[in-house]
Amino acid sequence: MTKTLMIQGTSSGAGKTTLVTALCRIFANSGYQVAPFKSQNMSSYSYKQDGFEISRAQAIQAIAARTTIDPRMNPILLMPLGSYRSKVMVNGKFYKKMYAKEYYTKFALSKGLTTAKKSLDWLKQNYDLIIIEGAGSPAEFNLEKYDIANMRMAEYTHAPVILVSDIDRGGTFASIVGTMELIDKKYRKFIQGFVINKFRGDKDILRPSLYKLRKKTGKPVLGTIPLMKFDIPEEDSLHANPKHVQWNKKYLKSLDLEIEKLSQVVKNSLNMKAIGELLK
C-alpha cells in the first residue's frame, strides 16, 4: 500500500520545497520508490522535456527521488503573465490563459481538483511513497475556499502533515501557533508535528521554546534544520533573481551532489524515527 507524507508551511519561502527535495533523496536512499507531488504551483521557471512542461521544483525533486520526471508530479502549473493573469499548464500542456478570478471560480474546484486527484491516484499506483508539497500557507482566509494544494490533498490521501517554518525571519512560534489556530478544526488532526528551518544559534537556548510549543499545540517539533548554503535553485516567488539552469550532464551531476549534501544535513537534523512512525 502506497504511503503519503505531506509538507506544508506557515508561509511561502518557509522551506517546503527544500524539505521535500531532501526527504525524496533520504527515502530513495532507504530503498523506497519515491515520487514528489505538488498539485498546483506558481512559478516562472519550468522544466521542459518530451513535449511537457512542469515546475522546475518538482523536476528537481524527482531527480532527488532518483525517478523519472513526470508531468503528473505537478499537474497544474501557473506561469505569471502580469496583471493577475497566468498561463495555465495542465499535466504539462498549455490549457488556457486566465485571470486569477476566473481560475479560482471556474477552474480550481472543478477541473483543477479533478486533475490533481487523478494525477495523485496514478502516482500512488506506481510508487511506494508520495511526498506531497503544499503551497503558501494552509491558513489563508482569502484563498481557503479555492485551495487545492494544501488540506484538501491531505484529506484526500489521509496524509500526515509536517508544518515547516522559517525561524531566520523571526516570529516562527507565532506563525506556527497562528496557523494551528486559523486552519479549520477538521484539518488540525492531519498536522503531526513541526520542523524549524534555517536555525542559527544555540540549540540549548531554543530547547525550552520547543517544549512550550508542544505544550501549547500538543504537537512535537520533529527537527531543527540549520541555516546552510547549497546550490539548488529555489522557487522564484520571493527572489528577484532566481537562478537559471541548463539541464546538461555537467549540471545534473553537480545538482545531484548538492542534493546529497542537503539530504545528509536534513537527515541528521530530523527525528527520522518519528517520521517513519507517521508512515505506518
pLDDT digits (tens, 9 = 90+) for 162-190: 999 999 988 999 999 999 999 999 999 99
What confidence tens digit (pLDDT) does each residue in 34-93 have? 999 999 999 988 999 889 999 999 999 999 999 999 999 999 999 999 999 999 999 999
pLDDT at 246: 83
| Residue-wise pLDDT tens digits, 198-255 | 999 888 899 999 999 999 999 999 999 999 888 888 765 544 456 678 888 998 999 9
Contact of 19 with 146, CB cutoff 8 Å: no
- Binning pLDDT at 50, 70 and 90, where does residue 118 land? very high
At 131, list the grid cell.
511526498
Helix ranges restricted to H, 6-158: 16-29, 56-64, 100-102, 113-126, 151-157
**Contact between 268 and 226 (Cβ < 8 Å):** no
Q: Give the pLDDT of residue 240.
A: 44
Q: Which domains does the chain have, with CATH numbers?
A: 3-278 (3.40.50.300)
DSSP H helices, the chain, are 16-29, 56-64, 100-102, 113-126, 151-157, 172-182, 185-188, 203-217, 249-269, 272-278
Strand partners, 224: 196
User: How many whole angstroms separate alpha carbon 88 and alpha carbon 257?
Assistant: 33
